[in-house]
Structure 1
Amino acid sequence: MNNYLAKLWEISRKPERLIVGLMSGTSLDGLDICLCKVSGSGNNSKIEVIKFTTKEYSTPLRDRIRAIQSKEQVRARELTILHTELAGRYASWILDSLNDWGIDPDKVDLIASHGQTIYHAPAQLEEEEHATLQIVDGDHIAQKSGIITIFDFRQKHTAVGGEGAPLAGIFDEVLFRHQEKHRLLLNLGGIANFTWLPSHKTGEPILTSDTGPANTLINEAMQKYFDQPFDDQGEVAASGTVHSELVRYILLEPYFRKAFSKTTGQEDFRLEFIENLMEGHGIELAKKEDLVASLTAVTSQSISRAFDEIVGDQEFECFVSGGGIHNRTLMNDLKERNPNATYKDIEDLGISADAKEAAMMAFFANELVTGEGFSIPGVTEEKIHLGKISLPG
């Protein structure tokens, strides 16, 4: 028997596992590395974040990824090279982080790598299938780190008829649903997504969905006009004036009229599209800060519309994660628009805002190795496992 298969069997029988979760979102801030202790499986899963860090992408690397991300046409050679190159960087960053934390790599049971989303393509026509593509090769991570690696989590979701996103609903329901209280977990990455968790006692199903752009349009505008990767604390938006007509035209786009649950990506929301819309409607802004302010308003208003439609006038606790939580202008606007929400620190749930999505990858890897899997509401009642396994050697 392959020694690593035997090791994998032993790992599956342990009372708890030490798993490194990895996440790099569409906003391209960098690689989130989360060391987690995971026990149990299914609805009995428990997860504890031990260590967390982010390895920021250099500007040249970020530009190279951006050149192939969410584009109709890309250079196949560069995509292929990055698929391998990023895996090598991931492995090095993992080993460096473990060294910094004083953790022997031999003590780590699994690596759980989301990869880098390059293109997300929910079916537009009945004869099409949902498709999504994440690069960063698991074999290279496993070989260079010496640690069994689970990767490519979204493909099984599309294989059974799902759109491949968002995946957070499974994780959120198991770990954060409350017996008495309604909760909503909102993630503000490049794209905004939420999980609505009505209290257990209602017996109502959960709902998870994207709402539209969170940081992606804001970041593009900041990069193009201010030579900054993002709007730090929302200060640029705060110095601008929201152009209400521009916001209205953006929110009239077809995506926002689709029923929940739905997914999207940068393929649907690019700055080029916004600028073409402005030109088509003859919209001119007094200053570039007004563009950032307006794009921030698009994020807050599209999220608030989702809250109104899904939650209505019910009171609920709202826990926010992702990079957008650091944008004060965005967060203040969300709070003003949603008076029925009590905003709470997600750390009250035992996990940090920045670490949540990387920890979620560790959760899925644990389930693949030890559990019976999960059904996907609205997609399949069959229990499935997410991810592929790569063995070193």
Structure 2
Amino acid sequence: MADIRTAIGLMSGTSMDGIDVALLRTDGEAVVERGAFLSVPYEPAFRDQLKQALEDAKAIRQRDERPGGLSRMETDLTQRHVEAALMFLEREGLTSRDVDLIGFHGQTVLHRPDEALTVQIGDGPLLARKTGIDVVYDMRANDMLHGGQGAPLVPVYHHALAHQIPAENWPVCFVNIGGISNLTFLDRDGTIIGFDSGPGNTLIDQWVEANAGIPYDDGGRIASEGAVSMGLAERYLASPFFTAKARRSLDRNDFQPPQSHEAELSDGARTLAYVSAAAILKSAGHLPSAPKTYVICGGGRLNRMIMADLAHLAAETKATVLSAEAAGFDGDAMEAEAWAYLAVRASKGLPLTFPGITGVKAPMAGGILAKSRDNSD
């Protein structure tokens, strides 16, 4: 009989817009029972502090260093995760005794795979003590120690979900459009390939914040009023990232937004939406065969211009593009669900990453377990 555990996943992504909380019952393998979901937005002042943390993190040379205000930010960020988890439990009528594990991503402030350096701030032991639930955290580091890129980690969860998609629609490619986009390719012969595919929302977010003073282009409304500047788009798509033989994971600083004088507001947003879509299809060119179905997850699926461009570009290869919801999933909850799933796998010593995904030398377990009862406040 399957050893099914109840886990909460906590995810704060590269878009830095808030904390996603998702409940999952799973054996860490084929059994997946999706539960409730909650999104807790960060207030603007805290988002500004997180942006400063990214600047402070550039000085890190060893992953345990916390220069500038990073140490205080780590505590503040963890406390917000505590509050989000407790709010979720209360809303769902649950107690800490009803949950076996929390999967805690933390906030990535630095990711330099070429230097085997990745830093996610977040105090796992503090979260465990404050919530009364065991916490699995720091799930990327062991992969890097063994030659992997440390990202993406979600593909093993995509694999568990993909069996709900009819056989005639395979090969399937799950695409998560967060700040950075990543894709997971799945074929019926057991092939699993995953890698970062390019900038997702991060360039658009930075562009509209700098030029319109708002944090993101809601639904692609600004982009819908503009036109694609192909010259500007091709500059991004000519990056060596897309043509290199080896796939590599991205930091949000690897691509920079245009200068304000390079485009009018709506044209810039429209161009960057096109770049987000075209980057996915360009990166998919490295896959062993063309997907028949693209399942789009993450915040980028709500940008109608990205989705329109994706549908148009995918049609050239006779592929279909579906939102996560159209495929029967929850595109907002999926990454947080994945972190719950990964926590259960980690607690059982099952691999989180694989050679075809991160480039690690062999299937690799990971994560650190913080026991809720080890310490007291």
TM-score normalised by length of structure 1: 0.85
User: Cα gap change, 1:237/1:366 in structure 2, threshold over 3 Å: closer, same or farther?
Assistant: same
By how many angstroms is 1:67 displaced?
1.4
Partner of 1:337: 313
Query: Is 1:18 aligned to 2:3, yes or no?
Result: no
Counterpart for residue 354 of structure 1? 332
- Relative to 1, partners in 2 of residues 1:56 and 1:157: Cα closer, same or farther, differing over 3 Å? same
Please give the alpha-carbon distance, in whole angstroms, between the structure 2 residues aligned to 1:299 and 1:383.
30
1:366 aligns with 2:344: yes
Specify whether residues 66 and 284 from structure 1 end up closer, same or farther in structure 2 by C-alpha distance, changes over 3 A only: closer
What's the offset of the Cα at 1:326?
Answer: 0.4
Q: Select the residue among 139, 144, 150 that pairs with 2:136.
A: 150
Q: Secondary structure at the match of 1:76?
A: coil
For the aligned residue pairs, the C-alpha RMSD in angstroms reads: 2.3
Per the alignment, residue 37 of structure 2 pairs with 52
What runs of 5+ residues in structure 1 fail to find an aligned partner? Answer: 1-12, 124-128
Letter in 2 for 1:289: S
The alpha-carbon deviation at position 26 of structure 1 amounts to 0.6
Q: Does 1:79 align with 2:76?
A: no
Which residue pairs with 1:255 in the alignment?
241
Q: 1:380 to 1:234 in 2, by over 3 A?
A: closer
Q: Report Cα offsets for 1:290-333 as digits up to 9, x if no partner.
A: 11111112111111212344266x45111110000100011011
- Write the letter of the residue equivalent to 2:319: A
Residue 113 of structure 1: how far off its partner (Å):
0.5
Deviations 1:32-57 (A, max 9, x none): 0001111x34xx43222211010000
Choose from 171, 179, 203 the match for 1:182.
Answer: 171
Q: Identify which range, 373-382 or 103-112, moves more after superposition.
A: 373-382
Q: Number of matched residues?
A: 360
The answer to whether the Cα contact below 8 Å between 1:208 and 1:261 also exists between their aligned partners in 2 is: no
Q: What corresponds to 2:63 in structure 1?
A: none
Q: How does 1:136-175 map to 2 (within 5 A)?
A: 136-175=122-161
What amino acid does structure 1 have at the position aligned with 2:16? Answer: L
Moved more, 162-171 or 112-121: 162-171
Q: Which moved more, 1:55-64 or 1:374-383?
A: 374-383
Matched, 1:36 2:24: yes
The separation in 2 between residues aligned to 1:383 and 1:300, in whole angstroms, is 30
Q: 1:363 to 1:310 in 2, by over 3 A?
A: same
Q: In structure 1, the residue corresponding to 2:222 is in which secondary structure?
A: helix
| CA deviation after TM superposition for structure 1 residue 341, in Å | 1.7
**1:77-131 Cα distance to aligned partner (Å, 9 max, x none):** 41110111111111111111110111122211111101100011021xxxxx421
What is the CA-CA distance between 1:288 and the residue it aligns to?
1.8
Contact map agreement 1:49 1:351 (CA 8 A) in 2:
no
SS of structure 2 residue aligned to 1:310:
coil
Q: Secondary structure at the match of 2:73?
A: helix
Amino acid at match of 1:85: D
Q: In percent, how many aligned pairs have the same letter? A: 31
1:15-36 CA-partner distances (Å, limit 9, x unpaired)? 3211110111110110000011
Structure of higher CA gyration radius: 1
Q: Where in structure 2 are there 5+ consecutive unaligned residues?
A: 61-65
Range with bigger deviation, 212-221 or 370-379: 370-379
Answer yes or no: is 1:299 the counterpart of 2:276.
Answer: yes
The one-letter code matched in structure 2 to 1:385 is A
| Contact 1:184/1:318 (8 A) holds in 2 | yes
| CA positional deviation for 1:338 | 0.9
Alignment of 1:77-116 (within 5 A): 77-116=68-107
1:344-368 deviation digits (Å, cap 9, x = unpaired): 3424665310111111111111112
Scaled by the length of structure 2, what TM-score is found? 0.89
Note closer, same or farther for the CA distance 1:243–1:385 as it changes in structure 2 (3 Å cut): same
Separation in structure 2 between the aligned mates of residue 35 and residue 148 of structure 1, nearest angstrom:
15
Query: How far is the alpha carbon of 1:250 from its aligned partner?
Result: 2.0
* Cα-to-partner distance string for 1:174-212 (whole Å, 9 max, x where unaligned): 432565521000000000110111222xx6x32211111
CA spacing shift, 1:254–1:307, aligned 2, 3 Å: closer
Distance (whole Å) between structure 2 residues aligned to residue 315 and residue 122 of structure 1 = 27
Cα deviation for residue 375 of structure 1 reads 5.8
Corresponding letter in the other structure for 1:365: A
**Amino acid of the residue matched to residue 69 of structure 1?**
L
